């Protein structure tokens, strides 16, 4: 089912001009807001395209640790957009209203319009086509998109906090953003080494000048590499203590105004950083479990403890209530699905009259998908090889280089994967692979 497109805004100032148009706008907006996180960029792009055509749509939000980009449109653009380019764009964007210019996106200067949401999320439309009209009408149009974007950005934030299983599974399965940053670091490192060798071998430079040039090049490259590496780490992982502190902040209203004493036992300071999807899951599970516990009668105290053994995040949540909580409790079902989405284990122990306890173990590293168990899709040997790389988040060029085939051949195999697996996107292919464990 295709989403309804937003109709061209009408009226003297670019706003919906009648009740029918307003209803159409609301229906289309609802279709976007109802979308799962994996589809929200594609639906939003389709909805906007009817009256603000564009070649690609990119959403960048740090709330989605591990999967900060959501993209739709021209593959030549969205496959090459980097975190660094989006960071540079955010610096020049105003805190409110639209910005138009020619930033570098996907390695080339492009016409673009960008908006910042109150949540800190960024929306960019590349090669936007604003119909020739009065400046006031164009400003009203971009203002209208801004209002829509504010609502979509809040919805993204809500869905990330809720940590639905499908999003967690996809986030773990296809960390293509991180793969791309690592590839970018490799390219920068290779270019720096080539430049250093050229300077040292140059007959036009004496020894002193060659050493100075090499030193300057190495220093500049080290700064850039460190900056990109630190940025990648901040978008992919969350220190376990920071994740726990954020949980305490989220639960502050309940602790302050509730009748239950919530005690927090923090993880060790030296605990391993958590991948983004694990941090989101952990907070969502604790919040949901506490709400399920306080919904029982006679609960006066809840203890929340996190620990890390270097391989797993370990969580224990215990109450002093009637001991009626179990995995089969309806309120716990969705929480358990989130844990299972990351190959984790959740168990409950209840003693009537003494309380209930939830133990959770979530591995910090993803498991290798057992590609040998995917015969039901009828894939050939080469298709299985391509599938493995797609599930790891690699792009066509990287896959072609690794397998010693052309990019066109990679595209041919990926098209076959989509057809045989019934998938519509690379992210969906990756999610299906890891769901088939």
Residue 265 sits in the same domain as residue 359: yes
Q: Indicate the burial class of 156 (C-beta count within 10 angstroms; 0-12, 13-18, 19 or more).
A: buried
Beta-ladder partners of 99: 114
CATH of the domain at 396: 1.10.10.10
Structural domain that includes position 396: 371-435
CB-based contact 118:156 (threshold 8 Å): no
Q: Residue 181's pLDDT is what?
A: 55
Residue 137 sits in the same domain as residue 184: no
Residue 273 sits in the same domain as residue 347: yes
Residue 337 sits in the same domain as residue 267: yes
The whole-angstrom separation of Cα 87 and Cα 9 is 31
Residue 345 sits in the same domain as residue 414: no
The whole-angstrom separation of Cα 121 and Cα 386 is 33
Q: Residue 10's pLDDT is what?
A: 47
Per-residue pLDDT 10s for the chain (437 aa) are 444 444 444 443 344 456 667 777 788 888 888 888 778 899 999 989 877 899 999 999 876 665 677 888 988 888 888 877 888 888 888 888 899 999 999 889 999 999 999 988 999 999 998 765 566 678 888 888 999 999 999 998 888 777 666 666 656 554 444 555 555 566 666 677 777 777 777 888 888 888 888 888 777 777 666 666 556 555 667 888 988 998 898 888 777 767 889 999 999 888 888 888 888 889 889 988 998 898 888 889 999 999 988 889 999 999 998 988 888 888 788 888 888 878 889 998 988 888 999 999 999 876 655 555 566 788 887 888 888 888 777 778 878 877 878 888 888 899 989 888 888 887 778 777 766 65
Residue 283 sits in the same domain as residue 339: yes
Residue 341 sits in the same domain as residue 386: no
The whole-angstrom separation of Cα 223 and Cα 398 is 26
How many domains is the chain partitioned into structurally? 4
Residue 257 sits in the same domain as residue 359: yes
Q: Residue 224's pLDDT is what?
A: 66
Q: Residue 7's pLDDT is what?
A: 46
Question: Last residue of a domain, which of 338, 363, 388?
Answer: 363
* 265 inside domain: yes
Question: Last residue of a domain, which of 317, 341, 363?
Answer: 363
* 8 inside domain: no
| pTM of the shown model | 0.53
* 142 inside domain: yes
Residue 99 sits in the same domain as residue 150: yes
* 13 inside domain: no
The whole-angstrom separation of Cα 167 and Cα 184 is 25
* 215 inside domain: yes
CB-based contact 242:266 (threshold 8 Å): no
* 3 inside domain: no
Q: Residue 91's pLDDT is what?
A: 86
Question: Last residue of a domain, which of 237, 256, 290?
Answer: 237
Residue 358 sits in the same domain as residue 382: no
Residue 33 sits in the same domain as residue 69: yes
Closest residue by Cα to residue 285 from 293, 295, 296, 297: 293
* 10 inside domain: no
* 12 inside domain: no
Q: Residue 404's pLDDT is what?
A: 78
Q: Residue 133's pLDDT is what?
A: 59
Residue 324 sits in the same domain as residue 260: yes
CATH of the domain at 334: 3.30.565.10
């Amino acid at each position: 089912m295709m989403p309804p497109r937003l109709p061209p805004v009408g009226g003297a100032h670019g706003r919906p001009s009648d009740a029918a148009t307003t209803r159409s706008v609301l229906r289309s907006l609802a279709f976007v807001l109802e979308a799962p996180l994996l589809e929200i960029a594609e639906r939003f792009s389709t909805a906007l395209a009817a009256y603000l055509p564009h070649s690609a749509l990119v959403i960048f939000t740090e709330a989605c640790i591990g999967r900060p980009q959501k993209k739709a449109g021209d593959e030549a653009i969205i496959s090459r957009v980097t975190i660094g380019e989006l960071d540079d764009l955010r610096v020049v964007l105003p805190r409110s209203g639209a910005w138009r210019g020619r930033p570098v996106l996907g390695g080339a200067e492009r016409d673009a319009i960008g908006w910042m949401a109150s949540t800190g999320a960024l929306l960019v439309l590349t090669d936007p086509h604003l119909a020739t009209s009065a400046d006031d009408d164009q400003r009203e149009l971009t203002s209208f998109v801004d209002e829509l974007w504010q609502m979509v950005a809040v919805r993204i934030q809500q869905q990330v906090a809720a940590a639905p299983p499908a999003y967690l599974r996809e986030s773990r399965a296809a960390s293509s953003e991180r793969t791309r940053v690592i590839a970018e670091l490799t390219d920068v490192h290779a270019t720096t080494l080539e430049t250093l060798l050229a300077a040292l071998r140059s007959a036009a430079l004496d020894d002193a000048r060659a050493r100075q040039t090499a030193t300057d090049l190495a220093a500049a490259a080290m700064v850039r590499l460190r900056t990109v590496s630190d940025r990648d780490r901040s978008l992919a992982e969350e220190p376990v203590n920071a994740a726990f502190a954020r949980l305490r902040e989220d639960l502050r209203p309940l602790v302050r105004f509730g009748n239950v004493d919530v005690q927090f036992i923090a993880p060790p300071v030296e605990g391993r950083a958590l991948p983004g999807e694990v941090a989101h899951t952990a907070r969502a599970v604790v919040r949901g479990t506490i709400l399920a516990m306080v919904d029982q009668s006679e609960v006066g105290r809840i203890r929340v403890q996190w620990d890390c053994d270097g391989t797993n995040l370990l969580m224990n949540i215990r109450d002093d209530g009637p001991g009626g909580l179990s995995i089969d409790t309806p309120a716990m079902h969705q929480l358990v699905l989130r844990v299972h989405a990351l190959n984790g284990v959740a168990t409950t122990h209840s003693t009537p009259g003494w309380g209930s306890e939830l133990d959770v173990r979530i591995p910090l590293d993803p498991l290798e998908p057992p590609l040998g168990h995917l015969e039901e899709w009828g894939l050939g040997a080469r298709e299985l090889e391509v599938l493995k790389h797609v599930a790891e988040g690699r792009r066509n060029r990287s896959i072609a280089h690794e397998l010693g085939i052309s990019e066109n051949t990679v595209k041919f195999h990926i098209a076959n994967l989509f057809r045989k697996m019934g998938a519509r996107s690379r992210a969906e292919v990756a999610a299906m692979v890891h769901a088939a464990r």
